[in-house]
């Protein structure tokens, strides 16, 4: 487990105004990290990922057995920040029946005809499960804030500040509702530098195995970098709460981002203090009777039982 004091620097303190420049994108460049050296950090990060994988699988089983809570993990970021890879690495040890991933794309006409939270509500994890939102209702105050023309029919064409304030309020109320109903919500902003995004886009253009990942639409969004950073700062400031905190994860080094997310998720679920359900006296007696029956010597199998 990573020292909780170290993790604290990545949490957006509720009620504070976020300036993303104050959050690092490359943690290996910090003084503390430079003392350790990159090789040691890389090695330690892979150990943390391996350790937490086992712990996450165990705690997911407990989540399922206790059937009192669900977990919702939200990932938001600029393009090429590593959302997919982080989700794949962090969840790779977990029973596939215990988790579900939803990737949200541009909304359909039907989705745009409903309230903006509708399509996300339908995808929420049931009790006992870990649900992952690869993009989420936060897109509705991020990409849509940068491109208000994508708000859809029946919506203002020039939304004012009050329009966005109300959306933040809706989101906070929605997350309060989720918390009250036993959903642990954890939110991750994978914080990438513009330089590292350029490097990753160039890699997609250079390496034939990565050509498929390149999207001209992503290039167009890169031109709005500053607007996106502002939209992220405003959303993070307005919606980081104790019950559903935002984490700003340095994403320029994939191994750092993965280890941090894995540790934060595992620790938060462990901190729920879940317990396996206690079996009643009556059920215990039935278990003992079943055990006694199984331990009795079986009668020899007849031809009939073979056929059936
Ligand atoms: P990708 O994650 O690369 O598959 O891209 C999904 C695209 O859908 C991104 O360009 C997102 O900005 C876009 N998207 C996701 N949610 C919304 C939304 N609520 N409104 C508009 N665009 C969205
Ligand atoms: Mg994309």
Residue nearest to atom 9 of ligand 1 (CA): 105
Distance CA 71, CA 125 (A): 7
Share of the chain above pLDDT 70, in %: 98
For the CA of 116, the nearest atom of ligand 1: 19
Considering the domain delimited by 4-280, tell me its CATH architecture.
3-Layer(aba) Sandwich (3.40)
Mutate to test the pocket of ligand 1, among 80, 105, 197 (most ligand atoms within 8 A of CB): 105
Dihedral sign from CA coordinates of 238, 119, 60, 276: positive
- 28: its two tokens: 């290996």
Q: Answer yes or no: is the C-beta of 250 below 6 A from any ligand 1 atom.
A: no
Write out pLDDT tens, residues 80-134: 999 999 999 999 999 999 999 999 999 999 999 999 999 999 999 999 999 999 9
Distance CA 20, CA 73 (A): 21
Distance CA 251, CA 200 (A): 12
pTM for the model stands at 0.94
Averaged confidence pLDDT in the chain = 95
Please tell me the predicted confidence (pLDDT) of residue 27. 92
């Amino acid at each position: 487990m990573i020292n909780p004091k170290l993790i604290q620097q990545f949490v957006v303190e509720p009620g504070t105004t976020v300036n993303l420049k104050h959050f690092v994108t490359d943690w290996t460049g910090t003084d503390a990290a430079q003392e350790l050296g990159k090789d040691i950090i890389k090695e330690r990060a892979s150990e943390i990922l391996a350790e937490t994988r086992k712990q996450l699988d165990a705690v997911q089983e407990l989540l399922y057995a206790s059937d009192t809570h669900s977990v919702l993990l939200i990932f938001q970021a600029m393009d090429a920040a590593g959302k997919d890879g982080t989700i794949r690495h962090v969840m790779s040890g977990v029973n596939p029946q215990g988790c579900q991933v939803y990737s949200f794309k541009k909304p359909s006409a039907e989705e745009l005809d409903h309230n903006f939270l509708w399509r996300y509500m339908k995808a929420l994890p049931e009790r006992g499960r870990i649900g992952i939102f690869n993009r989420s209702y936060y897109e509705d105050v991020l990409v849509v804030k940068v491109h208000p023309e994508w708000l859809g029919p029946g919506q203002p064409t020039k939304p004012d500040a009050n329009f966005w304030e109300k959306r933040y309020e809706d989101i906070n109320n929605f997350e309060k509702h989720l918390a009250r109903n036993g959903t642990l919500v954890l939110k991750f902003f994978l914080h990438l530098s513009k330089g590292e995004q350029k490097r990753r886009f160039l890699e997609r253009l250079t390496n034939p195995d990565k050509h498929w990942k390149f999207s001209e639409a992503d290039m167009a969004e890169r031109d709005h970098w500053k607007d996106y950073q502002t939209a992220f700062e405003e959303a993070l400031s307005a919606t980081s709460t104790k019950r559903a905190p935002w984490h700003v994860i340095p994403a320029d080094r994939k191994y750092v981002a993965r280890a941090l997310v894995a540790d934060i998720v595992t620790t938060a679920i462990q901190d729920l203090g879940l317990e396996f359900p206690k079996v009643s006296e009556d059920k215990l007696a039935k278990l003992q009777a079943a055990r006694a029956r199984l331990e009795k010597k079986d009668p020899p199998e007849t031809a009939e039982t073979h056929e059936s």
